[in-house]
Structure 1
């Protein structure tokens, strides 16, 4: 089964110049903990609720003036939409991430797959459990 069959499409992105405050508000309204950062449909990084907490709030910075580019994680991990689910699950284990961004062959962001998506996919529930175990043990 290909990851494109189980991924969530229409992923919300922000751009490099989005303020951390606006990023946090978007996370809150969408009830999510991370956002991809894109420029011209190209993935440039990610920002998580943890990035905001550790790199902005804990350092006493102003979330209205700090930009996503200042606290993002560059070089985000990703897989391609035509890869097998098992391959994506193994990559999630190797990189210790709970969500994997999915790009097309033109390297444009087309989706995201989570551990929850893996756990609901027919035939790969064990892979989801193994992936979660590996990520949890590494933390």
Structure 2
């Protein structure tokens, strides 16, 4: 999901609500130039008593987001999130075009599933090798 600099905060907030997402990548052309999160809307619009119908994305965007290359590993995503203190990483191609986004929640669910599979494998092997 993306937004442009000339859109309003209310338009972005409604789109986030309608699509049940917590952020949008701000693009210029197809390149990621920023990101807006649900927290940004609260802190930069609501808490500052700005009018969401008049506040432009260009006024509240976090520019130069940390991005992840399509070819990067899960380990790279985890390291970037940890080192940069972010929970969302737009995924970009080698030419900078946005192709998706990965979130901390996505990685948590993936790693939990991997650990569950590992546990099931260990449990299966232990039960198969036990003798009584």
TM-score (norm 1): 0.76
Unaligned 5+ segments in structure 1 are 1-11, 127-139
Give the distance between the partners of 1:27 and 1:62, measured in 2 at CA: 18
Higher percent of residues as helix: 2
For the residues of structure 1 that align with 2:112 and 2:70, how far apart are their CA atoms? 19
Q: 2:101 aligns with which of 112, 132, 135?
A: 112
Higher Rg of the two aligned structures:
2
- Aligned pairs, how many? 115
1:122 is displaced (CA, Å) by: 6.1
Across the aligned residues of Structure 1 and Structure 2, the Cα RMSD in angstroms comes to 1.8
TM-score scaled by structure 2?
A: 0.79
Secondary structure at the counterpart of residue 75 of structure 2: helix
State the shift of 1:88 in Å.
1.5
Matched, 1:53 2:74: no
**Pairing 1:72–2:30 present:** no
SS at 1:111's partner residue? strand
Residue 95 of structure 2 corresponds to residue 95 of structure 1 = no
